[in-house]
Amino acid sequence: MHATECRQLPARQNSAITRWKQVFAAGFLLLTLAGCGSGGPDEAYQQYLARLSRTLAVSPVNAAIPTAVRLPAPRDMHLELQSGNLDVLDFLAISGCAVQINIGRRNSSLGRLARDSQRLLLDLEYLRLAPPCIDYQRERGEPALADTLEQAWSLKHRQLRAAIYNATLGSSEYRAFWKQPHYPATDYPAMTSSTVVTSLEAINSQVRRWLAGDFSADNTEFEILLGEVATGDGGNLMQALAMQAAALEAANRILAERMRRGPLCGPVLRPAAADILTEVVKKYFIAAIQPRAAELNRRYHDLLPPMAALEDMLVDALPVDYRSWRARRDRELAEWTMAPRRHVDHLQAIARPCERSSNAEAAGRQNGSPAGYAQTTPSPASTMPQVENSPRRQP
């Protein structure tokens, strides 16, 4: 067939080629968009690392992001509680007592399949309503029935911390609070609110009352509070702090590699890299990274205190797996929140020889130059920003 000749393809084959062209075009578009950068924190970290390595003539270092510790499996988080002997009671035998309705709901088919939060609310209602019924049964000459009710009250009272744990820290709502997203939000934590913090504190307030012997509870309010906790961002926070710590640790390795070669500045020589480094730190760390680091630090001190307060109140009931997870979580968070401070230490360490060399250079110029010449050469103390770690917010 000559070059000028053309052959019409069958309709089916032509359609297939068209679909492949569309797929190829869509794939190329995705690759192009990916190359444009997300504009989020990951891009800020990458830019900072690239600028640092280029300025200090050190090979680029990849940030190895650690995997934040995840909660144990739900079955390892749940506590099995004794049911007691209320299910064998004759429902009609306790007529005249308000607790009769509570026992009826518990022994119903719905009651047996109730969520842990509803089981807790039934237990609290029983703890509140049973004592008058126990006294009433003794007065009417039913000591055996009174004893059965009292034994059930004692069992529920002993298991109260465990029941609260199952309904809160061991629940699906608190598990959702710690869930880490598959795709980190580029604007986190800018879009967070105080609602989840208020809900955590409100639940803690209720738990304190219950443990102190005030068993009153608003069922609807408690379930709403649990739902708000489920929208919390504990997992987002852990993921963001892990990413930040990994990036700043990579930056520390770049600085350490440069310092292993010797001081950045000599006794009387201040290379251009020292001034460039100052500008890189100002633009790509202080302006681009540190504001978010301060926000993450504040969010950490918003979310963790109410969570730790509930864990402390229920510490005797916490399963072994939960205690192990909590210990590792706290270690990792404490380590990650200090990442900005450690990076500041590295920046100050690499700049320290430059401060001495600039002071020596300024003194020499002042001695051999017209008065006031030394003031034209700023020292690193003024050019290298004295960056500080994010301020700690008191719980």
pTM score of the predicted model = 0.80
| Token pair 């995705």: residue | 30
CB atoms within 10 A of CB 55: 20
Q: Is 11's pLDDT higher than 80?
A: no
Is residue 289 within 8 Å of 389, Cβ to Cβ?
no
Q: Please name the residues in contact with 375: beta carbons below 8 A apart, sequence gap of 6 or more.
A: none
Give the pLDDT mean for 326-347. Answer: 96
Q: How distant, in Å, are the alpha carbons of 35, 86, 160, 172 from that of 320?
A: 46, 29, 18, 18
| Token pair 């700690």: residue | 392
**pLDDT single digits (tens) 351-373:** 999 886 555 555 555 544 333 32
Nearest CA to 384 out of 282, 293, 291 is that of 282
Of 1 and 337, which is predicted with more confidence? Answer: 337
Is residue 311 within 8 Å of 318, Cβ to Cβ?
yes
Could you tell me how many residues make up the chain? Answer: 395
**pLDDT single digits (tens) 238-295:** 999 999 999 999 999 999 999 999 999 988 788 999 999 999 999 999 999 999 999 9
Q: Is 223's pLDDT higher than 90?
A: yes
pLDDT of residue 66: 76
Is residue 171 within 8 Å of 222, Cβ to Cβ?
no
pLDDT of residue 357: 58
